[in-house]
Every structure is written in structure tokens, then in C-alpha cells.
Amino acid sequence: MSKMSFTYLSEPDVLEAGLSLSETVELCTESLRQHGLKQIENPPKSGIHPQPDAFLHSMPAWVMEKNVCGIKWVSGFSSNVQKKLPSIVGMIILNSTETGFPTAVLDGTYITAIRTAGVSGVSIKYLARKDSEVLGIVGTGVQGKYNTLCITHYLPSIKKIRYYDAWAPSLESFKAQLQPLLPNVTFEPVATIEEAVRGADVFAGCTGKVTESIFYADWVKPGALVLPVHGGGWEPDVMTKFDKVVVDDWAQISVGMSQYTAHCKAPYAELGEIVCEKKAGRENDQERIINFNYGLAIHDMICGARVVEKAKQKGLGVELELMDLAKPIPLPQV
């Protein structure tokens, strides 16, 4: 090997590779199983915050059994919505576990979106009541739409969606895009956040960054599952007010959501522990369960590797040369 190269996949390449929502849920189930078995390295994400409503996070991970490692660099700028730009943008680098050399660089925006909803799909399988009929959604942007598609796929019992968003264009596109895909479901826009939460069998909070309390545990009915997809907006002691608190990774959430964890010594379980059957999931139809999935890079690595595999099968992407190994690194100019 005289030259070192890597595969580059643009966003169009990633989209054409064709990673589906159901395939993503299967991949996220497996990455969570490996998390529950402690066969991963996934340190808490670190970040910088160049704007009050923004973050850029560094997210490295290694999934041992799958021999996949790498890093995602992802940004979240809530104000991008008003600029007609994506609020979440990411890039994934996959590395060889033997040499450390990069093997692929790919757009991570779609993967971030679909795997975030995919983890909600895992939560639904293990924590939701199977007879759930009402879905509540607050925040009808990308995650509101993706989560709705995922939740209704794994809960075909859903008959009604009550949804709220403060931004009218997002509210309108939610129904326009999803109703043709869910013709047997009633779409009911509501005037307040409380109306979307009360009476919902499953509630997903898909807002942008929220610093004040806008969601309250006493709105949640017995037997409901709550998925705070973007985490913020709950009262600080929310973890003390549910029958079960489930998280994706307690160490990471203790750093990123300390406003909640300061009031809770430990969760009932990490989701991976439930997937690998170390802990039970839902045990009765009256349990109120809240599941914080703060976002794990192990999902990005497993999903990213699958996208690269599918892209190569379709002849997508380009090979870019990184270095010529036959040439020694020259001395620099002084």
C-alpha cells in the first residue's frame, strides 16, 4: 500500500445510500445492546457554544464487537430555522481500529436526524403501552416529523396526533407532509403545550433549546411514556416525579443535563440494560415512564458504517487521497 485514501460521501450520497427508519431502529437496538453489555467506549460529548442558542459537540465512540470507531462533529444552531437553514449539521469520520487511519468521511446531518428518531423507536418497543392511541408532539420540525413516523410505525394503534409548535410554517408543514403517509390517523393541532401533553399515551418533546420550564410532570397521564427528545424544558426535579426514569447513558446525562440529575441519585435503568435484559422495561399499564436519550455517538458510528457499506454497493461517493506513504514527510521550511 503506497497511498492512503478514504471514502467521501456527500449528503446526496448519504441520502441515496438509502438507510431506512426501520433499519436504523435495528442498528440502534444493537448499539444499545452493546452499551448494556459494556462493549463500547462512548465518553460524554464535549462542546463549545459560540452563540447563546448554539453548540458544537465532539462525539467519539468505539463499538468493540462491530469493530467500528470514529467521531462525529455536530452543530446545533436553533436560530438557523429563521434563516431557512438546517438547525443541526454534522460530519462523521470513521477510522480503522487497527491503524487509526480515516476510512470514511461523510455528511452526518441525515444520520443524526434518523438515528435520533431511531432511538425513540427502541424506546417505544420496550417502554410504551402497546395499546397507545394518542401521540402528543411539541416541536414539529425535523425531529417532530421523524419521531412521528417512527412512533406510529412501531405503534400502529395510534389513532390521533395532537401537535403544537410556536412557528406557524413548521406547524403547517407537519400535517401537510405526514397526513398522506398516515391516512388513518387524525391530526389535531392544539393551541397550547399543555394540550399536547395531557391525555397523550406517548409524548415527544422535539423543541429546540429551551432553558425555562415549559413541560410539567403533573400533565402526564398514568401509563404514559415521555420522550424528551431535545431534553430541555422540564421542571428541575422532573426525575423524581415518574415511576421509572430511563436514560441512554447516565454518565453523559449527568454532565449534559445536570439540572435534572442533581435531584436524582440514579435512574431506574439505562436503555441498553433493558435491551440486553438486565432490567425490565414496562411492567404494567399504569407506570409513568420518562426516557431521556441525550444522544450517543455509538449510533452514529454503527449507522455511518452501514451507510458507507450501502453506498459502496451502489457505486456512490469518491475516494480521496490522504497521503503518499512512499514519500517521507519532508522537513519544514524554517
- 100/56 same-domain check: yes
Domain count, the chain: 2
Strand-by-strand arrangement of the 186-189 sheet: 186-189, 160-164, 134-138, 202-205, 225-227, 289-292, 244-247, 269-270
In a domain, 119, yes or no: no
What does residue 210 show for φ and ψ, rounded to 5 degrees?
-130, 125
- 157/285 same-domain check: yes
In a domain, 121, yes or no: no
- 252/304 same-domain check: no
- 161/46 same-domain check: no
Q: Render pLDDT for 48-81 as a digit per residue (tens, 0 to 9).
A: 999 988 999 999 999 999 999 999 999 999 889 8
- 188/282 same-domain check: yes
We report the CATH number of the domain holding residue 63 as 3.30.1780.10
pTM: 0.95
- 137/283 same-domain check: yes
- The residue that leads in pLDDT, 12 or 256, is 12
Residues 205/227, Cβ–Cβ less than 8 Å: yes
pLDDT for the residue 1: 64
- 219/303 same-domain check: no
- 92/23 same-domain check: yes
In sequence order, which residues have a C-beta less than 8 Å from that of residue 99 and are 6 or more positions away? none
What does residue 63 show for φ and ψ, rounded to 5 degrees?
-105, 105
- 98/148 same-domain check: no
- 226/277 same-domain check: yes
- 182/209 same-domain check: yes
pLDDT for the residue 92: 99
We report the CATH number of the domain holding residue 262 as 3.40.50.720
**DSSP class of 44:** P
User: Could you tell me the residue range of the domain that residue 180 belongs to?
Assistant: 126-292
The mean pLDDT value of the chain amounts to 97
